[in-house]
């Protein structure tokens, strides 16, 4: 919610709300955790984790509340057999047809994969709408409610096609969110992210994230180790994933990205300094002193495993996802997929590596483009004698 891209007043309002809540929860956490922390470092970490989860939960509630509040001010109309809510902007009847087409496409895409199993999770679709300006009558521009990047039309001023694609993407995105929001373990696992459209690029990005990670588990997973992949798809325990994700060789990077507790003593600060200066033994000490080890892998990365599970699980996979409550996220996903955990991990790993290979750098397209432009330019250059 605090990362949402919406209209400016809403963004300001929500931003203020988020800052207040996050700041407040941080202060609360620090003060409340002071006494237990003195008692035991492990207890302090556990307390911090619990507080963090509470803060996340609060953020989600704020998000939901803001959405509801937003809904009060949005327009609504029926499109594609669904109720669509939007912030009144410059939507016209013509745009309504565009939106209907986008929704129909999303609908068809979901139906093709999951039949009617995803139907309960489709609504509502919410987005903000704004106009490109009075000089551009066809330029009604839709910015996705939760898309990080604004969608700019490609190379003409007719926004019809991009808008259809955008609406489709929003609808698929929303359906995915609605689905994982009803499965708390999976929601925690993916940080409430799930996109249900064609995802080769997302899988490639996931692979890239692992390949560049400072956690050896990610790198080894990309290099081919199923055990490392399994670690990547496991949420960390009390030690913040130190033993799960990292090897001692990664400790320097962990120290760089981790935080020392406010109660850290001078010896711990010195260990941190020596570690960053190059001492491996000091890194072991410095890592042990960290109050929190950030998870090196994003929810988006893990959400790709949910996509694989849903694909493997077939048409009633969405229902199994929300009804299976016991076990770890990986166990739930294996159940959804109808395969063993190892098979799921291998399938996911395979998907990631295939996507990485397909998305690996290639200059073929540039070659064709430059050759075509150069020939055109050359033709122009021969038109006039000096």
Partner 1 sequence: MFRQILFTQFRWTRTLLLLMAVFTFVVPTLSWNLGGNVFAAGLAPIAVMNGFSTVGPMLVLGAWTLGFLLVALPWGADSQSRHVYALSLPIPWSQYVAMRFGAGAITLLVPTLALWLGSWLVVAMIDMPPTLRAYPGLLALRFFLGTLLAYALSFLLQYLAGRRAAVVLLVLLVAVFGLGMGLSLANQHELLVRITLWFIDWPGPFSVFASEWRLIDV
Sites of contact with partner 1 (CB under 8 A): 132-133, 135-136, 139, 141, 152-155, 157, 207-208, 210-214, 219, 222-223, 249, 253, 356, 360-363, 365-370, 372-374, 377-378, 380-386
Residue 253 or 295 having the CB closest to partner 1: 253
Taking the complex as a whole, the smallest distance from the CB of residue 218 to partner 1 amounts, in Å, to 8
Q: Quote the distance between the C-alpha of residue 347 and its chain's center.
A: 20
Distance CA 65, CA 67 (A): 5
Residue 16 or 372 having the CB closest to partner 1: 372
Could you give the 3-state DSSP secondary structure of residue 78? strand
- Of 161, 175, 188, 160, which Cα lies nearest the Cα of 126? 175
Taking the complex as a whole, the smallest distance from the CB of residue 369 to partner 1 amounts, in Å, to 5
Q: Is the peptide bond before 335 cis (omega within 30 degrees of 0)?
A: no
Residue 94 or 368 having the CB closest to partner 1: 368
Contact 99, 140 (CB under 8 A): no
Taking the complex as a whole, the smallest distance from the CB of residue 285 to partner 1 amounts, in Å, to 19
Taking the complex as a whole, the smallest distance from the CB of residue 237 to partner 1 amounts, in Å, to 24
Q: Do strands 82-87 and 140-143 pair parallel, antiparallel, or not at all (unpaired)?
A: unpaired
Distance CA 98, CA 108 (A): 15
Distance CA 229, CA 226 (A): 5
Q: Which residues pair with 259 in a beta bridge?
A: 292
Taking the complex as a whole, the smallest distance from the CB of residue 177 to partner 1 amounts, in Å, to 28
Residue 5 or 113 having the CB closest to partner 1: 5
Residue 187 or 216 having the CB closest to partner 1: 216
């Amino acid at each position: 919610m605090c990362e949402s891209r919406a209209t400016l007043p809403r963004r300001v309002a929500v931003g203020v709300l988020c800052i207040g809540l996050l700041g407040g929860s941080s202060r609360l956490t620090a003060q409340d955790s002071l006494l237990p922390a003195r008692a035991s470092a492990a207890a302090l970490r556990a307390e911090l984790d619990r507080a963090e989860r509470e803060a996340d939960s609060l953020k989600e509630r704020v998000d939901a509340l803001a959405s509801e509040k937003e809904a009060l001010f949005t327009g609504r109309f029926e499109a594609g057999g669904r109720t669509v809510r939007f912030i009144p902007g410059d939507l016209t009847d013509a745009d309504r047809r565009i939106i209907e087409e986008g929704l129909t496409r999303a609908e068809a895409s979901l139906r093709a994969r999951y039949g009617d199993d995803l139907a309960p999770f489709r609504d509502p679709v919410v987005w903000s709408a704004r106009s490109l300006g009075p000089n551009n009558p066809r330029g009604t521009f839709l910015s996705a409610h939760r898309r990080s990047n604004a969608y700019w039309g490609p190379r003409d001023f007719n926004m019809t096609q991009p808008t259809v694609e955008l609406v489709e993407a929003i609808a698929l995105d929303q359906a995915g969110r609605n689905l994982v929001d009803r499965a708390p373990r999976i929601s925690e696992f993916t940080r409430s992210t799930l996109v249900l459209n064609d995802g080769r690029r997302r899988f490639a990005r996931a692979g890239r994230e692992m390949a560049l990670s400072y956690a050896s588990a990610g790198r080894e997973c990309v290099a081919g180790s199923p055990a490392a992949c399994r670690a990547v798809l496991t949420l960390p325990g009390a030690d913040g994933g130190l033993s799960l994700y990292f090897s001692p060789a990664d400790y320097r990077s962990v120290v760089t990205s981790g935080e020392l507790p406010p109660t850290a003593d001078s010896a711990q600060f010195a260990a941190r300094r020596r570690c960053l200066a190059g001492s491996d033994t000091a890194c072991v000490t410095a890592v042990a002193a960290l109050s929190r080890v950030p998870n090196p892998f994003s929810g988006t990365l893990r959400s790709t495993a949910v996509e694989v599970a849903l694909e493997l699980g077939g048409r009633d996979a969405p229902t199994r996802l929300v009804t299976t409550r016991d076990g770890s996220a990986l166990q739930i996903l294996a159940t959804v997929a109808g395969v063993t955990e190892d098979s799921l991990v291998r399938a996911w790993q395979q998907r990631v590596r295939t996507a990485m290979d397909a998305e690996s750098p290639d200059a073929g397209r540039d070659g064709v483009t430059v050759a075509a432009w150069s020939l055109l330019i050359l033709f122009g250059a021969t038109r006039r004698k000096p």
